[in-house]
Amino acid sequence: MTDLTKLSLAATRDGLKNKDFTALEVTEGYLDAIAAANPKLNAYVAVTGDEARAMAKASDEKLARGEGGALEGVPLGIKDLFATKGVHTQAASHILDQFKPEYESSVTQNLWNDGAVMLGKLNMDEFAMGSSNETSYYGPVINPWRGEGDNKDLVPGGSSGGSAAAVSAWLCAGATATDTGGSIRQPAAFTGTVGIKPTYGRCSRWGVVAFASSLDQAGPIARTVEDSAIMLTSMAGFDAKDSTSVDMAVPDFAAAVERGVKGLVIGVPKEYRMDGMPAEIEKLWQEGLEWLKAEGATVRDISLPHTKYALPAYYIVAPAEASSNLARYDGVKYGLRVPGKDITDMYEQTRAEGFGREVKRRIMIGTYVLSAGYYDAYYVRAQKVRTLIKRDFENAFADGVDAILTPATPSAAFGIADQEMASDPVKMYLNDIFTVTVNMAGLPGIAVPAGKDGQGLPLGLQLIGKPFDEETLFAAARVIERAAGMDFTPEKWW
């Protein structure tokens, strides 16, 4: 019998509908795979076996009656940032110890309404702050990929490192993730998976633990472009509970996947050609452009002149919002409480013990840039820069560009506890150089695996689209996926 955990999400859905196998069988298959892999990969922080079996049985009953939603019986992993009723939700932080919400996030509720099955909660950087999944209270996630002939552990990227590793290692049919500055796209690129950050407002943020509210967006990480389109169709939608969610019909994204790129104009921003970028990535970028041209797209050089300010501006705006959002964790309302001699001391002890180093760094930066004396010099300026970045993209789209192609990351996956990154947080922040611009402008961006480096590690390309035009991104990403024609399954060593 075929291994039911080695099917695409689309094939799983179809097989369930055809009654080739049951949801319980697929679910048991994934639970076994997780039990075997998790001690090595650390992708899941909580496995909800009982809930998964109950959901799968309910799906099987519906499927037997010829009923069921778009994802009926399909087992998914959920990033620990999404509130799941009665189930571990800690944003991979110590400060949320034992927190089990009384409510369900809108995105996960949408998935359950469509019949999906929850396998458990996925590891991530603490409060989604990081690019390597090393800031998690639960320890790092290990990338299922290793360099050829090398047994060194690599990072899966972050902050959605658990989501990316679980999809890549066949520990779920697809996963939810979130992206504030690259946290869907960078881990997707590091693990040979597909990740899309939709347009800001496409998915509800209600019940997603807030990091930087004006940048946070949920999206899927999946194995193929089609799978990510199927998942996003279920995740997205207007939600009255999130005032920034947009009241717009959600297209059937999967229907756009095979639409092709004929007649599209693909922009190539010269500012994304960075000094010191590995030749392999430059080459991959060129290849991607050739593939799109071969399918009838036109390629055009464009300029996004404010690109170089995006990263510094992001590292003002994101920490500023984070410092405000994280003020609620004070030992009173949620999770951890460390007793003190009075209430102020209790707040201080709790926050000192409950937050990790990177989260504390962000809170301090954010508090500083928002403080009375520095607000205009930092925060207000960064907001102005943000407008200029957005305008760069608007100008390109107004000139007839349909989508923009860039590398997804400036390198392939790097080692766990990389000395350079550990000693200088700015080096770690540079991972997001190609992805943060998209969050600052609120645009959709997709990372698609497109090639491998000299060590056989996956490399991704990014496509950036017009607001609410995820369909073009799926279509163009599919062209790249097909042209690359590679198997992005890591060799199993765990």
Known catalytic residues are: 79, 159, 183
> What tokens does 218 get?
């949920």
Q: Which is nearer to ligand GLN, 122 or 401 (CB)?
A: 122
| Structure-token match 């809170």, residue found | 363
- Helix 470-484 vs helix 279-294: angle between axes, to the nearest 10 degrees? 110
Selected from 111, 118, 129, 165, the binder of ligand GLN by CB under 6 A is 129
Instruction: Find the shortest distance in angstroms from Cβ 74 to ligand GLN.
Output: 25
Task: Tell me how far apart the terminal alpha carbons of the chain are, to the nearest angstrom.
Answer: 22
Q: Over the Cα atoms of the chain, what is R_g?
A: 21
Helix, coil or strand: residue 122:
strand
Is 318 one of the binding residues for ligand GLN (CB under 6 A)?
Answer: yes
Query: CB-wise, 211 or 488, nearer to ligand GLN?
Result: 211
The residue (of 75 and 366) whose beta carbon lies closer to ligand GLN is: 366
Pick 108 or 132: Cβ nearer ligand GLN? 132
**Interface residues for ligand GLN in 38-67 (CB under 6 A)?**
none
Residue labelled with tokens 């001690």: 39
Nearer to ligand GLN, 68 or 198 (CB): 198
What is the three-class DSSP state of 405? Answer: strand
Of 195 and 331, CB closest to ligand GLN: 195
Provide the 10 A C-beta neighbour count for residue 169.
26
Nearer to ligand GLN, 183 or 191 (CB): 183
Residue 159 interacting with ligand GLN (CB under 6 A)? yes
The smaller minimum CB distance to ligand GLN, of residues 109 and 132, is found at 132
131 scored as a contact of ligand GLN (CB under 6 A): yes
Pair of tokens at residue 348: 């201080």
Burial of 94 (0-12, 13-18, 19+ CB in 10 A): middle
The residues, any chain, with a CB within 8 Å of residue 245's CB and separated by 6 or more, are: 106, 201, 202, 203, 204, 205, 206, 237, 238, 239
CA distance 179 to 159: 8
Rounded least distance, CB 132 to ligand GLN, Å: 9
- Residue 181 is a binding residue for ligand GLN (CB under 6 A): yes
CB of 326 to ligand GLN, least distance (A): 13
| 338-397 positions binding ligand GLN, by CB under 6 A | none
Q: Is 182 in the site for ligand GLN (CB under 6 A)?
A: yes
Instruction: Please return the burial class of 65, using the count of CB atoms within 10 Å of its CB with bins 0-12, 13-18 and 19+.
Output: exposed
448 in Cβ contact with 226 (< 8 Å): no
Give me the least distance between CB of 107 and ligand GLN, in Å please: 15
Using H for helix, E for strand and C for coil, what is the string for 257-319?
CCCCCCCCEEEEEHHHCCCCCCHHHHHHHHHHHHHHHHCCCEEEEECCCCHHHHHHHHHHHHH
d(CA 418, CA 429): 13
Q: How far is the CB of 211 from ligand GLN (least distance, A)?
A: 6
The interface region with ligand GLN, picked from 129-137, 147-155, 384-392, 416-424 by CB under 6 A, is 129-137
Cis peptide before 159 (omega within 30 of 0): yes
Question: What is the identity of the amino acid at 373?
Answer: G
- The contact pattern for ligand GLN, residues 265-284, with x = CB under 6 A and - = no contact, is --------------------
C-alpha 459/C-alpha 195 separation (Å) is 13
Binding residue (CB under 6 A) for ligand GLN from 28, 134, 179, 227: 179
- How many residues in the shown chain lie near ligand GLN by CB under 6 A? 13
Q: In the bound complex, what is the minimum distance in angstroms from residue 128's beta carbon to ligand GLN?
A: 4
Interaction of residue 130 with ligand GLN, rule CB under 6 A? yes
Joined together, the tokens standing for residue 418 give: 């990389």
Determine the residue with CB nearest ligand GLN: 183
CB of 315 to ligand GLN, least distance (A): 8
Between 35 and 364, CB nearer to ligand GLN: 364
Minimum distance, C-beta of residue 182 to ligand GLN, in the bound complex (Å): 5
Q: How far apart are CA 230 and CA 218, in angstroms?
A: 14
Beta-sheet strands, E only, within 358-417:
403-407
DSSP state of 155: -
Q: Does 128 bind ligand GLN (CB under 6 A)?
A: yes
**Binding mask 200-229 vs ligand GLN (x if CB under 6 A, - otherwise)?**
-----------x------------------
Rounded CA separation 83/108 (Å): 8
Selected binder of ligand GLN within 432, 469, 470, 471 (CB under 6 A): 432
Among 105, 106, 168, 183, binds ligand GLN (CB under 6 A): 183
- Stretches 56-64, 166-174, 175-183, 281-289: which one binds ligand GLN (CB under 6 A)? 175-183
> Would you tell me which residues interact with ligand GLN (CB under 6 A)?
128-131, 159, 179-183, 211, 318, 432
